[in-house]
Chains A and B, each alone.
Chain A
Amino acid sequence: MLRYLKRNPSLTVGIGFLGVLVVFIAVGMILIDPEDARPLSAPALHPPSWAYPFGTDRQGRDLFAAMVVGTPLTLRIGFIAGILGVVIGTILAFVAGFYRGIVDTAIRGVADIGLTVPGLLILIIIAVSVRGGLTVNQMALVVASLAWLNPTRTIRSQVLTLRERGYVEVARLSGMNGPEIIFFEMIPNLLPYLGATLVNAVSAAILASIGLEVLGLGPLEAPTLGMTLYWVNFNAAIINGWWWWWMAPIVIILLVFLGLFFMTVGLDEIANPRLRRSI
């Protein structure tokens, strides 16, 4: 494992970035009182100091506490939506790619059309309709409602190429039925690819959730990374020179996206050895 990571620097860097975040959250949990992530728990607009290492915001949140509490919330939204998206996408992709016919045409059509539509707008309509404030978990479900489109499309095309492989044909001739072939022959071969798709889906879900939050459609009470940026924008923190307010969330979001990106590159290398040497 370790030796493999040495040969796959992208995967190593990706895991490293996310590892830094996990350590940050774990250590932070010991150091902070989650209550400090709420407004009015600290003096307002305090630049970073020993007492408040990331400073405080205008509503009097300790930003260090807000980051420690908010980062896992954002990651949770991403993982719930991403996993749901890939599971639904995989099922649809196998149904479409394996059984073909009209089912395939329908699934492919829906996914193709769905992808040309800007997802954020649909999510906005949904979020606006269920007003009254979303919770973090509801947020994850809203994002998941579109998260299956891309996995369906990409996995389906993989299934189609797999179908033509010799061993699938042999399995069919040897009397295995559809589900058996899917579970014992195709899924194991697709695992690295599914992994890359999952990481992609998580990344896309986090992006979508942060987008909704920056627009003010997120859980107003929760200090997720996107909500912090919403308040940054709401209070024009950049123009006012409150640099610490946006510095912490931006650095963390950068770590999240770069970590996930390097992981996909690394997983792609496993899934698709011909692309080795890709970066």
Chain B
Amino acid sequence: MRALYIARRFAVFLLIVWLAASLNFFLPRLSGQDPVRTKLLAEAQLGGYVHAGIEDMVKEYNQKFGLDRPLWRQYLSYLGDTAQLDFNYSISNYPRTVRDLIAEALPWTVGLLGMTTLLSFGIGSFLGALLAWPGAPRWMRYVMPPLWALHAIPFFLLGLILMYLFAFQLRLLPIFGGYSPGASPGFNIRFVLDVMAHATLPALSIILVATGGWALGMRGMMVTTMGEDYVTFAEAKGLRASTIFLRYCVRNAILPQTTALALALGQILSGAVLVEVIFGYPGIGALLFQAIRENDHFLIQGIVFTVIVALGFTTFILDVLYPWLDPRISYQRT
């Protein structure tokens, strides 16, 4: 039962991987000509010090994706390369490979996104749960409306405002980048503090926006849960208010909240890309922005594939963990 459930979830994950690769292959070709080839040829004609390398790339590209080869063979070559995580060289950063660049940027994004998502989900759910509980603290009445209003605006817009206030006007925090220019990356206190200072504003613009949404969702779920029979019976059992709150209400209301989290990951990531762009944070989003500016197709495709697969994998993990949270699922339903 359990194995079947996991296998099925894994199949969905593989499906997502395949879809992401196919999207990368077919979408650019829909326009009739191959924009990758166009770009490569343009680059090759420019000449310059990377000239020789680009020529090699064109040669290899033509060998694999040349017009004389049938589309399905090109497609198979593409799938083969992708399966080996070979996304070719970065056109704009030759001779660095796309895989290298992504490997460098990915930890920054995973760190920023993991931390902000966990914090906003945790804080938001907690606030929402408290808010639904009778006798919620008075201060919440003043904290929540601004959070709800913030929740309606895009991450990066708040980012611009925060950047102006805290980095430009008050000069409290660094305005740009992932660490100070000239700092020597390494695992020492100074560098870690420097990185944290640089991450504060990007993280705040995500947390302040996302928290209100989770609070709103959790409050709704709590109100529904508190009307359930088992909560009434729990009260009749003479349980302490804290037991009823945590083990009966929150414990059940968090289930649909978690499902919503899995569904929201894509949206959160889309928003975070823009936050990275405006703060010049050295993650996937900023790398993507650079790739778009330079029209670096290999890099764009590599990033899109990696991110979709990473998110698909996270969803897969959440799916596998979910029955542990809700025993009713018990691995049988899809």
Contacts and interface: CB of A to CB of B under 8 A. Distances in A.
A–B contact, 8 Å CB criterion (strictly below): yes
B266 A118 contact: yes
B149 A116 contact: no
Contacts of A261: 149, 151-152
A10 B263 CA distance: 26
A128 B19 contact: no
A125 interface: yes
A260 interface: yes
B323 interface: no
B19 A113 contact: yes
Contact of B31 (A113, A124, A130, A203): A130
Interface in B37-92: none
Given A116-B315, A239-B168, A211 B270 contact: yes
Contacts of B203: none
A113 B154 contact: no
The size class of the interface chain A forms with chain B is: 35 or more
B301 to A, nearest CB: 7
B262 A116 contact: yes
B27 interface: yes
Contacts, number: 137
B274 A211 contact: yes
Interface in A111-161: 113, 115-122, 124-126, 128-131
Contacts of B297: 128
B140 interface: no
Nearest to B268: A118
B164 interface: yes
B215 to A, nearest CB: 11
A49 B145 CA distance: 35
The size class of the interface chain B forms with chain A is: 35 or more
Contact of B160 (A120, A238, A258, A279): A238
A126 B27 CA distance: 6
A117 B149 contact: no
B304 A125 contact: yes
Contact of B270 (A119, A129, A257): A119
Contacts of A175: none
A217 B300 contact: no
A130 B145 CA distance: 42
Interface-centre pick from B15, B154, B262, B297 (highest chain A CB count, 10 A): B154
B164 A116 contact: no
Contacts of B167: 238
A118 B292 contact: no
B288 interface: yes
A275 B311 contact: no
B106 interface: no
B277 interface: yes
A211 B15 CA distance: 27
B246 to A, nearest CB: 24
Contacts of A124: 288, 292, 300, 304
Interface in B133-192: 145, 148-149, 151-154, 156-157, 160-161, 163-164, 167-168, 175-176
Nearest to B315: A116
A32 to B, nearest CB: 25
Given A117-B311, A126-B27, A260 B152 contact: yes
A113 B15 contact: yes
A214 B274 contact: yes
A101 to B, nearest CB: 16
A119 B311 CA distance: 12
A279 B277 contact: no
Given A125-B301, A253-B153, A217 B307 contact: no
Contacts of B154: 207, 210-211, 253, 257
Given A131-B35, A233-B278, A238-B168, A253 B157 contact: yes
B267 interface: yes
Nearest to A232: B160
A248 to B, nearest CB: 13
B177 to A, nearest CB: 12
A238 to B, nearest CB: 5
Interface-centre pick from B175, B267, B300, B312 (highest chain A CB count, 10 A): B267
B270 A116 contact: no
Nearest to A264: B152
B293 interface: yes
Contacts of B31: 129-131
7 contacts: A113-B19, A116-B262, A116-B266, A130-B31, A210-B154, A238-B164, A258-B152
Interface of A: 113, 115-122, 124-126, 128-131, 203, 207-208, 210-211, 214-217, 229, 232-233, 238-239, 241, 243, 246, 250, 253-254, 257-258, 260-262, 275, 278-279
